[in-house]
Amino acid sequence: MFRAWNYGAGPSVMPLEVLEEAQREFTDYNDTGISIIEMSHRSADFDAVAKDAEARLRRIMDIPDNYRVLFEQGGGRGQFAAIPLNLLPEDGHADYFVTGHWSRCAYRECAERYGKAILHECVEKNAQGEYFINYDRMQVTEGATYAYACLNETVNGIEMFELPDTGDVPLIVDMSSNILTRPVDVRKFGAIIFGAQKNVAPAGLTVTIVREDLIGHARKYCPSVLDWQVLSSYDSMYNTPNTFSWYMAGKVFKWIENLGGVKALEERNIRKSTLLYDYIDSTDFYCCPIERKDRSRVNCVFTLKDESLNAEFLERAKRQHLIGLKGHKVLGGMRASIYNAMSVEGVEVLVDFLRCFEIDHRA
């Protein structure tokens, strides 16, 4: 069986054993005679799938009983709207800690459509021209309803490894790209949202982990499918959910448990990212423009010293079955996404490719 090395930012690589298990079950799930994608979301069989997935997620993340887990649709952009619609009073305001492209998108969605959002620019450049996070700028303003942050910026390759002290102001975070890549204390957040398509499941599923006291405050005109109270009351079955992605998420949660949990994945992710960044830092042929302490463990952005080689670099990578390395259109350059399902071997293959390409183009 042929498998390329997929470094795409999302939809992204999934664990092969999970794909193979789903393949075996695809036409006849659990001796029902039908596929999981043909199954009613109201059936007892799918109810068991849904409950098992939530239970596994609660275990691997140690989610307290006073948090609800909602399996939704709409992606991260849907939640950019859902957050203010569920939390922000008409006359209130929220603080947005912007560290890159996606947190800026979230800020704009709130500020341009739903109410007062205060922008905190939290990234600066050091004397060497590298970007870094200035956590001192993450200060909540008086009377803020909530504070928002994106813990990993896939476009910019920046990851927050510290959390701002927001006191009694709920901290709402997007973890779409680094969920389950490292342990987090759920109790420190008012809500965690994440799209599934990077570390969890196929695209089309969004998960919200939200503290119960933050449910039930939605604006009257909040669409029902974005209202956390409605979704909670219906156990995420208000409308037909993405049943296949939910099913696949459960299998990935099981895979994580079998590997030893999130802590084991963190150790592997540190090993992978260190291997890649160490090589990039060892040469002037490539450059990562982020301070080491703030570099994402799962989205490594880098440039070639001679950008006229970009097209050749990508074409050669494709010929060698390394795909998904082109950087986001906003920043250009290159980006290697090495999420949970990417093996250490996959990073070793990438480093070897970088080394060989450099050798071939050294003057």
Residues identified as active-site: 102, 174, 198
Token pair 């089309």 in the structure block, residue: 204
- Separation CA 57–CA 63 (nearest Å): 8
- Separation CA 238–CA 208 (nearest Å): 15
Beta bridge partners of 70: 208
Q: For 174-239, where are the alpha helices, taking DSSP H only?
A: 228-233
Quick check: 182 and 262 in contact, CB under 8 A?
yes
Whose CA is closest to 346, among 361, 324, 315, 316?
A: 324
- Separation CA 137–CA 157 (nearest Å): 19
Between the CA of residue 43 and those of 32, 33, 49, what are the distances in Å? 11, 14, 10
Categorise residue 141: left if φ over 0, alpha if ψ from -120 to 50, beta otherwise.
Answer: beta
- Separation CA 278–CA 287 (nearest Å): 11
Quick check: 349 and 5 in contact, CB under 8 A?
yes
- Separation CA 33–CA 219 (nearest Å): 44
Q: What's phi and psi for 172, nearest 5 deg?
A: -110, 125
18-24: which pairs have CB atoms within 8 A and are 24 or more residues apart?
18/248, 18/251, 18/252, 18/255, 21/251, 22/247, 22/248, 22/251
Q: What's the first-to-final CA gap in the chain, in angstroms?
A: 39
> Would you state the structure tokens that stand for residue 66, as one six-digit string?
């006073």
